[in-house]
Structure 1
């Protein structure tokens, strides 16, 4: 499907706009502006009141004033580095216009003595004299109409001035075509929103400060357009997943019963509910595309394993994918016991499997002798063939966008997909990142989990902490010690893992302390982890490699050094590594005093609650969405007008509208559907457009 001709002028080169040459076109790229259409959504963030006053005498400096003046005299500087002055008089007062590094001949032409001009700029008082340094505007009276009463202020970057942006925007606005409305008419009327073209014009021509609020009708409408385009894309992805016929995998319940009967505890209500939802999806003829979202310690592993057993009970196979080898091995260790109870064969496949060992596994997989495979991205490789793959469980961790979920689906012709995430996601982000999926939430903790006691400790008291650790190790307990960075860096005085490891080894004795960090060879990392899991070493010094999925029930102490440098969600994940056994666990957040305001707020939230969803909402409020899940690799949309944190309700409306539209008009062929295609082109939702053309 090629771009509609009516939009060509908005997709031309920037140099085709007034005032933009190759150099400024390059500078504009830093503002995310590459085509004329990008200028339409480069909205001003504030405005300057340029309404005329009769005299500078009527304003209270320092402030911006716009006034008609008569030019009286020019005073060129006698010595280098002094300013050039022009005396002017308004209806009641004499004052000076000041210019630095100015060319006299240019200023004589601009401000001829005896003539009238309209000047606008910041008035200040210096040595009792009113001055305007470098006026923003100097206009002949007949051109005064060019100056808006209220001038918008745009975001800038090196090589781009306000005047240049204003000129380029005006030139882009002149190219806007008349387009059909893509918003549902009932909703548009209810909200009192303007048409698209009127909204863009209004957003670029504010007349008061209230026009910059997210709730101003023009801005709200443009925010909705962005949310809606994004949700249409996700709904198309969801529809294309659903269109691909699934396989009905009917559970017999036998293997699940065998596991549940042998467990020392009952699953929580949330776990049972999630298993029912998953089994229902798997039995349906459509493909499952479900997100299993659970807080630290809510028992996702059991739910995922029972889901894998549904695939095996139906005569097929399941695969569980983890982002790293350490985590794949963790899953293997966690599932081995359950697999033994169910009597199914579980194997691990990673990039380290080579030669005959790998060949044997691949053969067993293709023959259906391996029921459940645990692996890393290695399971994507071409030669990995299943006899009958029915369910893929992906341990998400945000490293896995919509595109990869689709790729995985291609492995088995109609594989059901279950994505697990341990990061509780606020509703707005769940809508933005997982709008194409159905969601099951685990919001209860299994019985027997004791809350972790959390305390804040300044780094000055590190010796007391080491002393506590010595006592705990003597009692047979294990501890994690998390450091912020690996190498010593002069700029940041972060304690490096290397230095901390040496320090603790000296204090606690040889053989007690081990270390893992990101730069270590995998073999050494695995060996260090294995020694800690087996209880041979008592203290594990680590960088954040351990934040997800590591399970050592005997570890009951977590020390996080320079805790104020971590994000809330990350701290919550790290704390979740303890509190998994019977012992009372503690988490010590060590911070460098004095703490900044946000650092303090973050650590206190963590100290006061263990509810991951509350922590995630708080984190989102403090850091913003892109940061929260590392925008670069999260596949999160970058909105220009819309604000994901503050406009969640608007996004939810966009989602239900998008789903309803595609339900009524799956090919977007109706008049409104055609209008929505225009919106998708305008907002670069090329992926959506590909999905329509495939569909």
Structure 2
């Protein structure tokens, strides 16, 4: 169903001249997108944009050229000096001059016949490359470009530099990108003419041509109008496809979920504390959404320990009051069990039946749970991806809660949706997401925020310490253990790798064992689930007092009386992750602290990260800083998990265009929901260009 106009761009890379299967595989490595298992296409090359340029416009003459400078010289060739016979290691030299002095052009393992043809004696030539000076004598080793003076207008004076991978030469990649540009058909315009004039945007094809064939370094800058035009196109494709998904999801219109309030009241009575103001506000927004006949799609953002699970539980109780079932899905088994531990005792006191379903439940236990979901006797189920599987059928799934959404893609969200009759959906995250990213990843959601910490939570004192002071730290931890405190000790890797001389969790455990003996525990990703649970239980119950762990404990692990968090090699963690880890302490009534152990020398970014951690505990401030420090692709973990990894757009430069794209998408679809108009047809091409084929399929499925 794809318009035939786009066929040249959807041909495989191997259809380009000079690109065989081997080179195509190398090119796939530099493409700015996750191919998701399909083969690379000609059109993918359009968006491999230059990360810098080489400026060859400087022509200072031989004498005026500085060491290491890239220059273009107008020379006359004087003589060739081949290496002596039999000595292949000596270079081939060509001597040339201009008005200011003399230079040697130097070639190793050269082909004499080729050089005699390219640079004949007595000819006027133009060469470009990096200048080197030996003992006051200028030389240029293997010039990048050489041409006879009369053919010199073909020399690229401003040359784009593309990302490369081992084995892929810049020439081959440039030639392939050039061919893909030649195949780009003339496209109808999908942007509003007045908007284009306001922003100084060129046509789509012209903008691409300017970026790939820059006439000045500014042409290849992300802040230039050409790049901004393409970033806007990408945002618009994303926002139109999110809006289509949302319209589709809404069209599976929900049903009002209202109850008599009895179960919610029993739950509130069972809570050992009262809700904070922002918990009450978020719950009110969620219950108001549930009462509407439109489906709810809401994002609940709350910092670590702000009490999201309780809000979700009260909302699930409302769904049960209305005669439905509710499901809570978490990204890991540890986290799913953690949620169950919070929810089950409260739910039981309110007369609700709960169950868990992960990859670990087997046999009788599993079949009982599946039967209970199918006959409706289980009200609330907590689980991992296992809840998506074919075998899982609900009697009446009315409400689904997804925790740590960024670990699940939009597709999984839709798969969960398919399990019920268009269940309402609440997505929770403890990673505070800056507004710009909420728009890109969740343009299709309303947002509630929990901004207060529950009563009695203590601030966490954060200190930074160089590795040299480790013995002193171990002494302090020993004192803390004798006072009955509990300590997390986080290490970055499981085992020592050759490249990075880091302490692994296993090695740190071995090093601390003589000091702490039986009071020391260990948890890391390679352990069996049962062993992990046993280690966590021993720590929770106080059998062990110091838990050495990798980042498996990053999200959701709840040991209220843990008071000290040591993070080793803190300089290797991102801000969001440091913040998540720190949130594991300070959950009880005792004062807590977080020690960031670092190894000198620190990079500028690492220094900034550690100082942000010392200055603030506000997750939203930290998220905005994180975005500035490392760009959007990293912020939500990996690029592949349905996160907004962009091909062209760079959030740090183009965030201002995002709101405009969202408003534009809403306006277009309110006027032309099936994209049937002339502009709508053009927008369909845009969706295909940026790989949003599923959105076009939704249009057809209607």
Q: C-alpha displacement at 1:596, in angstroms?
A: 3.9
Q: CA 1:167/1:376 → structure 2, altered by over 3 Å: closer, same or farther?
A: closer
Residues 304-359 of structure 1 deviation map (CA, whole Å, 9 limit, x = unaligned): 11110110121211111222222222112111332244332222233333333333
Q: Return the alpha-carbon distance in structure 2 between the equivalents of residues 327 and 567 of structure 1.
A: 21
2:35 corresponds in structure 1 to none
Q: In 2, are the aligned partners of 1:249 and 1:282 still within 8 Å (CA)?
A: yes
Q: C-alpha displacement at 1:59, in angstroms?
A: 4.8
**Does 1:671 find its partner at 2:670?**
no
**Does 1:645 find its partner at 2:652?**
yes
Match of 2:240 among 223, 232, 235: 232
1:246 corresponds in structure 2 to 254
Q: In 2, are the aligned partners of 1:230 and 1:637 still within 8 Å (CA)?
A: no
Report SS of the residue matched to 2:624: helix
Residues 545-591 of structure 1 deviation map (CA, whole Å, 9 limit, x = unaligned): 22211112222222223322322222211211111111111222223
Q: Return the alpha-carbon distance in structure 2 between the equivalents of residues 474 and 150 of structure 1.
A: 67
1:659 corresponds in structure 2 to 666
1:174 corresponds in structure 2 to 182
Residues 37-96 of structure 1 deviation map (CA, whole Å, 9 limit, x = unaligned): 233223333334444859545555553343443333222222432222223343554433
Report SS of the residue matched to 2:407: coil
Q: In 1, are the aligned partners of 2:249 and 2:422 still within 8 Å (CA)?
A: no
1:146 corresponds in structure 2 to 154
Q: In 2, are the aligned partners of 1:251 and 1:283 still within 8 Å (CA)?
A: no
Q: Return the alpha-carbon distance in structure 2 between the equivalents of residues 242 and 669 of structure 1.
A: 20
1:289 corresponds in structure 2 to 297
Q: C-alpha displacement at 1:264, in angstroms?
A: 4.8
Matches within 5 A, 1:77-92: 77-78=83-84, 79-91=87-99
Matches within 5 A, 1:275-424: 275-396=283-404, 398-424=406-432
Report SS of the residue matched to 1:440: strand
1:555 corresponds in structure 2 to 562
Q: In 1, are the aligned partners of 2:632 and 2:645 still within 8 Å (CA)?
A: no
Match of 2:461 among 439, 453, 456: 453
Residues 191-225 of structure 1 deviation map (CA, whole Å, 9 limit, x = unaligned): 11111122112222322222222221111101111
Q: What is the alpha-carbon root mean square deviation over aligned residues?
A: 2.6
Q: CA 1:57/1:19 → structure 2, altered by over 3 Å: closer, same or farther?
A: farther
**Does 1:427 find its partner at 2:431?**
no
Report SS of the residue matched to 2:183: coil
Q: In 1, are the aligned partners of 2:406 and 2:643 still within 8 Å (CA)?
A: no
Q: Return the alpha-carbon distance in structure 2 between the equivalents of residues 630 and 179 of structure 1.
A: 35
TM-score, L = length of structure 2:
0.92
Q: In 1, are the aligned partners of 2:325 and 2:376 still within 8 Å (CA)?
A: yes
Residues 214-237 of structure 1 deviation map (CA, whole Å, 9 limit, x = unaligned): 221111101111121122222222
Q: Return the alpha-carbon distance in structure 2 between the equivalents of residues 392 and 223 of structure 1.
A: 34
Q: In 1, are the aligned partners of 2:488 and 2:547 still within 8 Å (CA)?
A: yes
Q: CA 1:451/1:180 → structure 2, altered by over 3 Å: closer, same or farther?
A: same
User: Which of 18-27 and 345-354 deviates more?
Assistant: 18-27
Q: Return the alpha-carbon distance in structure 2 between the equivalents of residues 36 and 666 of structure 1.
A: 30
Match of 2:79 among 73, 77, 90: 73
1:588 corresponds in structure 2 to 595
User: Which of 367-376 and 414-423 deviates more?
Assistant: 367-376
Report SS of the residue matched to 1:641: coil
User: Which of 521-530 and 115-124 deviates more?
Assistant: 115-124
Matches within 5 A, 1:259-274: 259-274=267-282
Q: CA 1:480/1:155 → structure 2, altered by over 3 Å: closer, same or farther?
A: closer
**Does 1:37 find its partner at 2:43?**
yes
Q: C-alpha displacement at 1:610, in angstroms?
A: 0.6
Q: CA 1:142/1:595 → structure 2, altered by over 3 Å: closer, same or farther?
A: closer
Q: Return the alpha-carbon distance in structure 1 between the equivalents of residues 403 and 326 of structure 2.
A: 14
Q: CA 1:258/1:464 → structure 2, altered by over 3 Å: closer, same or farther?
A: same
1:116 corresponds in structure 2 to 124
Residues 467-493 of structure 1 deviation map (CA, whole Å, 9 limit, x = unaligned): 333333333332222233333556544
User: Which of 256-265 and 597-606 deviates more?
Assistant: 256-265
Q: In 2, are the aligned partners of 1:275 and 1:307 still within 8 Å (CA)?
A: yes
Match of 1:64 among 55, 59, 70: 70
**Does 1:608 find its partner at 2:615?**
yes
Q: CA 1:80/1:411 → structure 2, altered by over 3 Å: closer, same or farther?
A: same
Q: Return the alpha-carbon distance in structure 1 between the equivalents of residues 510 and 11 of structure 2.
A: 60
Q: C-alpha displacement at 1:277, in angstroms?
A: 1.7
Matches within 5 A, 1:505-520: 505-510=513-518, 512-520=519-527
Q: Return the alpha-carbon distance in structure 2 between the equivalents of residues 642 and 665 of structure 1.
A: 26
User: Which of 137-146 and 88-97 deviates more?
Assistant: 88-97
Q: CA 1:58/1:514 → structure 2, altered by over 3 Å: closer, same or farther?
A: closer
Report SS of the residue matched to 1:642: coil
Structure 2 unaligned segments of length 5 or more: list them.
Answer: 33-39
2:27 corresponds in structure 1 to 28
Match of 1:97 among 105, 115, 118: 105
Report SS of the residue matched to 1:118: strand
Q: C-alpha displacement at 1:262, in angstroms?
A: 4.9
Residues 424-465 of structure 1 deviation map (CA, whole Å, 9 limit, x = unaligned): 112232222222322222122222211011222333333433
Q: C-alpha displacement at 1:620, in angstroms?
A: 2.4
Q: In 2, are the aligned partners of 1:349 and 1:375 still within 8 Å (CA)?
A: yes
2:449 corresponds in structure 1 to 441
Q: C-alpha displacement at 1:615, in angstroms?
A: 1.4
Q: Return the alpha-carbon distance in structure 1 between the equivalents of residues 536 and 169 of structure 2.
A: 55
Q: CA 1:136/1:259 → structure 2, altered by over 3 Å: closer, same or farther?
A: same
TM-score, L = length of structure 1:
0.93
Q: CA 1:52/1:116 → structure 2, altered by over 3 Å: closer, same or farther?
A: farther
Q: C-alpha displacement at 1:627, in angstroms?
A: 2.5
Report SS of the residue matched to 2:147: strand
Q: CA 1:65/1:307 → structure 2, altered by over 3 Å: closer, same or farther?
A: same
Q: How many residues were matched structurally?
A: 693
Q: CA 1:471/1:244 → structure 2, altered by over 3 Å: closer, same or farther?
A: same
Q: Return the alpha-carbon distance in structure 2 between the equivalents of residues 518 and 21 of structure 1.
A: 40
Q: Return the alpha-carbon distance in structure 1 between the equivalents of residues 89 and 116 of structure 2.
A: 19
Q: C-alpha displacement at 1:159, in angstroms?
A: 4.3
Q: In 1, are the aligned partners of 2:270 and 2:346 still within 8 Å (CA)?
A: no
Q: C-alpha displacement at 1:619, in angstroms?
A: 2.1
Report SS of the residue matched to 1:398: helix
Q: CA 1:594/1:308 → structure 2, altered by over 3 Å: closer, same or farther?
A: same
Q: CA 1:71/1:666 → structure 2, altered by over 3 Å: closer, same or farther?
A: same
Structure 1 unaligned segments of length 5 or more: list them.
Answer: none
Q: CA 1:136/1:416 → structure 2, altered by over 3 Å: closer, same or farther?
A: same
User: Which of 300-309 and 475-484 deviates more?
Assistant: 475-484
**Does 1:46 find its partner at 2:42?**
no
Q: Return the alpha-carbon distance in structure 1 between the equivalents of residues 171 and 474 of structure 2.
A: 61
Report SS of the residue matched to 1:80: coil
Q: In 1, are the aligned partners of 2:212 and 2:220 still within 8 Å (CA)?
A: no
Q: In 2, are the aligned partners of 1:367 and 1:386 still within 8 Å (CA)?
A: yes
